[in-house]
Chains A and B, each alone.
Chain A
Amino acid sequence: MADGNGYKVVGTRPIRHDGVDKVTGRAKYGADLNFPDMLFGKILRSPHAHAKIVSIDVSRALAHPGVKDIVTSKDLPILSENILAEDKVFYKGHAIVGLAAVDVHTAEEALSLIDIEYEVLPAVTDVAKAIREDSVVLHQSLTTNTLGEKTGKPTNISSHVRHQNGDVEAGFAEADVVVERTFTTQTVHQGYIEPITATAKYNPDGELTVWTSTQGAFNVRQQVAGILDCPASKVRVVPLEIGGGFGGKTTVYVAPVAALLAMRTGQIVKVTMTRDEVFEGTGPAPATLIRLKMGATKDGRITAADTDLFYEGGAYPGSAVGAGANCMFAAYKIPNLMIDGFDVVVNKPSSHAYRAPGAPNSSFAAECVIDEICQKLDLDPLEFRMINGAKEGDRNPIGPRHGKIGYLETVEAAQTHDHYQVEVGNGKLRGRGVASGYWGNGAGRSSVNLTVNQDGTIMLLEGSTDIGGTRASIAMQAAEVLGIAAEDVRPAVVDTNSIGETGVTGGSRTTHATGLVAIRAAESVIEQMKEKLADHWEVNLNQVDFADGTFLNSDNQISFKEAARICSPVVGSVTESTTGAGGAFGTHVVDVEVDEDTGKVEVLRYTAVQDVGTAIHPSYAEGQIQGGAVQGIGWALSEEYVYDQKGQMVNASFLDYRMPTSYDTPMVDTVMVEVPNPGHPFGVRGVGEVPLVPPLAAIANAVSRAIGVRMTHLPMNPGSVLKALNKI
């Protein structure tokens, strides 16, 4: 039950509204639709990491019984190279041909009947090689945009940004200890269990319907309309339930191809990726190379930080190096700073967002160097963070001042937690690591439509697809305002024809932005009901009040339900480009044990502290923290894209792309610190992304302390730990 914070619904744990459908298998996800005479689409993808397409011959495939249509990039009204390649392919898995057939096996057979002649080119799949002068260049037209100016020379470095403050040389001179390290991380995937899918139907009257699992139906609408060169108002995107996204489903891959095939065949076409296509054909998180030098005085004050961040954008520019730079030192006060960030193309899938994109990589470096400084100064790492930690009014070292934030509160909560009080244990190689992290969180446009029913229940229509319990958290916010139970709000996620524009369920924006809009819609409903009751009671409007779910004037007092009977239907419809998101911090504590004979790292205990502002539904806020922490365990210890000499991924399956199982992880204890965000009526801060920012360094610090060797390369798989231990 809500206690202490004065809320009746916010802070409670009702059963989520879509829960029964999801535990009974009734909920329909993107690939669950079946229509009579539906065609199945498949995509032929490049087997080469880098090649010119010399010729494409689809005649044998077209002649195969059951094949209805075949398309290439020349059939797309607007060229979109990552959807269907034009005359070059830039990664193994790059889509080239789409086809539709009567069943999925026929479609697969037809793929093998397509004849493509390639001129194979040398490939580069390592950022360290791609930045060299002598590297293979992917795009002759790409030159570096360096600090705002283009160099004009073909390169793989698409952009160079810099953040600079103070004088780092002076800062290092002032320091008593300076640590300089180079860190690498490998390409990792969001790992959503549900593969990419889209089903499309084209009506002769020109309306295109796309059913898909997506983090943003309006994004899909805009992209599909753009590529097919038709008005967005003619594209209806119906978001089905989504089986995980983590940022990876905020863009389209197969939807334009399904739509194109549907338009040309006049039949409904479903295109669903296989798991290896997901690995090779969608955007993973970038591999990175980071050099970092930091200095501190012997009493534990950071004096300077100088870093070069090289992030792989994949086949096309656009890695999250900018966000990485913004978040890297957000938790600290650093007077002298130099960050140079580089976005680099390589022959890998075009990188895309993965939970706080860019920040886990840069924080890995920062939080590990800080830990090493603490070791050299013999200072407790949490105490170090109390000394240097930022609070309201301090500047993020890259510039903006923090508003009300709860960073120090997370460090204090970690310090006083039972986990930090007990010894890490002895006998084997054991170590404890801590790390912090930050994410700015998003706001932006959302729309909500509330209808009051006669029985006092509320229909709540929204455009925010529900990845992890937002139907519940948004319904709860409306319920809180209206003074009714969460169960009396019936949320529905509707299509792009049925609700105003709404941004992605991503960027940790939804509970804040869509919640805010739901609150406004609820307030509008209350105002309208007051007006109707003023008429009904024959009093002036200013004599009608609403408080605690009750409408009253000096003579009357009725509950919301009773008022609904009198006033309904009442509709509150709001669209707003919201602002006021609150950035958030997390601090994690991890204990590990290392088997010195095998190099295996076991995570013994995990505590994740995070400032959530106000937890609307604590269970789902906890769930975000736990999920992010375990993704971090995978990224730190076992996940990576493995490439062969020809630049081809060799482990594109769940067998050898190793995500943690239930047998690999401990319980994840969560501590939710609540420093309310003034930008939201209930103090909400985004929770979804922060939790993936600290784990990489927290685990690396734990392993480093356990084995007495600084670990700077991820993943810390058993082979690399054995090397660090000098056993092999």
Chain B
Amino acid sequence: MSRKVHVQTQINRENVEFLCEPRQSMLEVLRNELDLTGAKEGCNNGNCGACTIIVEGRPVNSCCMLGVEAEGKEIQTIEGVATPEGLHPLQQKFLEHAALQCGICTPGFIMNAKVLLETNPNPTEEEVRFWLAGNLCRCTGYDKIIRAVLDTTETTGVSTNG
């Protein structure tokens, strides 16, 4: 065990501080230290996307990032996507399209798809499938997930900041 590091960061628009060992991944810190369990561990080696969070506006596998690397960064997790006003359009479309069955992959898909739509508000089916290839789903066969994302367009008011 090595000395813990004091990290100051911003998660879901709130200033957050935590202590962690350098060897603890961002995923571990979120789940074990901060009780933000929305990001899930599926593989711990960057191959399933269930741990996807948004770091400085980009989707990132939090299992492949150290907690100490969060210093000074802006981070968003699934817990920060809905607001007191309501669900994000992506979340609403996932529900309407039944784009989840067990739901374990859903937070990761929503985080990754959110950045896709902020980058490319009207993607084709192929662009959506390519972008989301880093997120594995075993329940849905992807069909309804792709439809939900395609149905969430700029016209439904997807927020483009954070």
A residues with CB within 8 A of B: 13, 15-16, 18-20, 22-29, 31-32, 34, 66, 104-106, 190-195, 241-246, 272, 274-275, 467-469, 617, 619-620, 622-624, 626-631, 653-655, 659-665, 667-668
Q: How far is the CA of A31 from the CA of B126 in the complex (A)?
A: 34
B residues with CB within 8 A of A: 1, 21, 23-24, 28, 31-32, 35-45, 47-48, 50, 77-79, 81-82, 87, 91, 94-98, 100-107, 110, 125, 128-130, 132-147
Chain B residues near A193: list those with CB within 8 A: 40, 42, 48, 50, 102, 104-105, 136-138
Within 8 Å by CB of B91, from A23, A34, A626, A629, lies A23
A-B contact count (CB 8 A): 190
B35 to chain A, nearest CB (A): 6
Chain B residues near A623: list those with CB within 8 A: 98, 101, 139-141, 144
Chain B residues near A467: list those with CB within 8 A: 101-102, 139
- With contacts A627-B141, A662-B132 taken as known, whether A620 is within 8 angstroms of B101 at the C-beta atoms is yes
Q: How far is the CA of A630 from the CA of B138 in the complex (A)?
A: 8
Chain A residues near B146: list those with CB within 8 A: 662, 667
Chain B residues near A20: list those with CB within 8 A: 87, 91, 95
| Least CB separation from B134: chain A residue | A661
- With contacts A16-B95, A665-B141 taken as known, whether A275 is within 8 angstroms of B50 at the C-beta atoms is no
Within 8 Å by CB of A631, from B23, B87, B138, B143, lies B138
Within 8 Å by CB of B141, from A13, A191, A629, lies A629
Inter-subunit contact B40/A243 (CB<8 Å): yes
B95 to chain A, nearest CB (A): 4
Inter-subunit contact B100/A19 (CB<8 Å): yes
- Beyond the given A193-B137, A623-B98, could you list 15 further A-B residue pairs with CB under 8 A, ordered by the A residue number? A19-B95, A23-B94, A23-B106, A105-B1, A192-B102, A275-B45, A467-B101, A468-B139, A623-B141, A653-B43, A655-B45, A660-B142, A661-B133, A663-B132, A664-B133
Chain A residues near B133: list those with CB within 8 A: 661-664
Q: How far is the CA of A620 from the CA of B100 in the complex (A)?
A: 9
| Least CB separation from B100: chain A residue | A22
Chain B residues near A15: list those with CB within 8 A: 95-96
- With contacts A193-B136, A468-B101, A659-B136 taken as known, whether A24 is within 8 angstroms of B47 at the C-beta atoms is no
Inter-subunit contact B87/A23 (CB<8 Å): yes
A491 to chain B, nearest CB (A): 15
Inter-subunit contact A668/B143 (CB<8 Å): yes
Inter-subunit contact A243/B104 (CB<8 Å): yes
A528 to chain B, nearest CB (A): 34
Inter-subunit contact A29/B141 (CB<8 Å): no
Q: How far is the CA of A192 from the CA of B133 in the complex (A)?
A: 17
Inter-subunit contact A469/B98 (CB<8 Å): yes
Chain A residues near B96: list those with CB within 8 A: 15
Q: How far is the CA of A659 from the CA of B32 in the complex (A)?
A: 29
> Could you list some 25 contacts between A and B, CB below 8 A?
A25-B38, A26-B79, A29-B40, A34-B31, A191-B138, A192-B138, A194-B42, A241-B103, A242-B102, A243-B40, A243-B103, A243-B104, A243-B105, A244-B139, A275-B42, A275-B44, A468-B102, A624-B101, A627-B101, A653-B43, A661-B135, A661-B136, A662-B128, A662-B129, A663-B132
Chain A residues near B44: list those with CB within 8 A: 274-275
Within 8 Å by CB of A662, from B81, B91, B110, B135, lies B135
Chain A residues near B102: list those with CB within 8 A: 192-194, 241-245, 467-468
